[in-house]
């Protein structure tokens, strides 16, 4: 693009020159915008890179700011402050927005990863716990008498009633009830269940 705008006569003249250039930009003068770009791009980039700290993102944000200056040139009011102040304010706001947006995205990703990690861990832990409990039940069932083990297995694993268990084992119903009660008490004690 063009060489940076030479400021003749000190800062007051520079302000006036940039204000005039901004008015031309507001009217759609592309050459004036080229001059404005050359004059403000280093300032804008410097502000953005201090906030964003990532050079590639800073370049993107600085470009967005310069496009904003082009689009919003008609909104600039010289009595409200210098063009450089207005540009610096826009640059700072855009940079802060980018940092906040990036942080929010990072927070969402970390939260999602934590949820996914926790879910996977819980499934594994549950499977291990179920296996351990199943093994403990099998071990405790081996500690029962043959009639107790058969009666409990038929009732709890096959879903038979006391009467159906008695018929299947060809044992009187009161005997089945007593053996199952005694077997369940021994299972409870073996498994360490407290009532």
pLDDT per residue over 10-28, tens digit each? 333 366 699 999 999 999 9
pTM: 0.54
User: Is the pLDDT confidence value at 147 over 50?
Assistant: yes
Contact 62, 46 (CB under 8 A): no
Token representation of residue 107 = 């927070």
Return the higher-pLDDT residue of 124 and 158. 158
Sign of CA dihedral 72, 76, 82, 85: negative
Q: Crossing angle for the helix pair 55-71 and 30-52, nearest 10 degrees?
A: 140
pLDDT, mean of residues 111-139: 77
Residue 134 is predicted with a pLDDT of 84
Helix spans in the chain (H): 11-26, 30-52, 55-71, 83-142, 146-156, 162-169, 173-191
Nearest to 39 by CA among 86, 81, 80, 75: 86
For 187, counting Cβ atoms within 10 Å of its Cβ (0-12 exposed, 13-18 middle, 19+ buried), the class is buried
* Confidence grade of residue 39 (pLDDT, cut at 50, 70, 90): very high
Q: Decide: helix, strand or coil at residue 185.
A: helix
Contact 26, 74 (CB under 8 A): yes
């Amino acid at each position: 693009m063009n060489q940076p705008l030479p400021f003749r006569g000190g800062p007051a003249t520079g302000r006036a020159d940039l204000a005039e250039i901004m008015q031309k930009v507001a009217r759609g003068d592309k050459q004036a915008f080229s001059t404005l770009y050359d004059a403000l791009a280093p300032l804008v980039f410097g502000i953005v890179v201090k906030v964003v700290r990532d050079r590639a993102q800073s370049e993107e944000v600085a470009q967005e700011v310069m496009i904003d200056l082009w689009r919003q040139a008609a909104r600039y009011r010289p009595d409200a402050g210098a063009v450089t102040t207005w540009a610096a304010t826009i640059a700072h706001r855009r940079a802060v927005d980018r940092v906040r947006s990036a942080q929010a995205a990072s927070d969402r990703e970390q939260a999602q990863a934590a949820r996914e990690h926790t879910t996977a861990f819980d499934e594994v832990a549950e499977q291990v716990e179920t296996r351990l409990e199943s093994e403990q039940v099998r071990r405790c069932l081996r500690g029962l008498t043959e009639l107790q083990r058969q009666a409990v297995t038929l009732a709890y694993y096959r879903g038979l009633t006391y009467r159906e268990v008695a018929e299947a084992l060809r044992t009187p119903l009161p005997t089945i009830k007593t053996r199952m009660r005694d077997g369940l008490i021994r299972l409870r004690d073996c498994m360490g269940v407290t009532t």
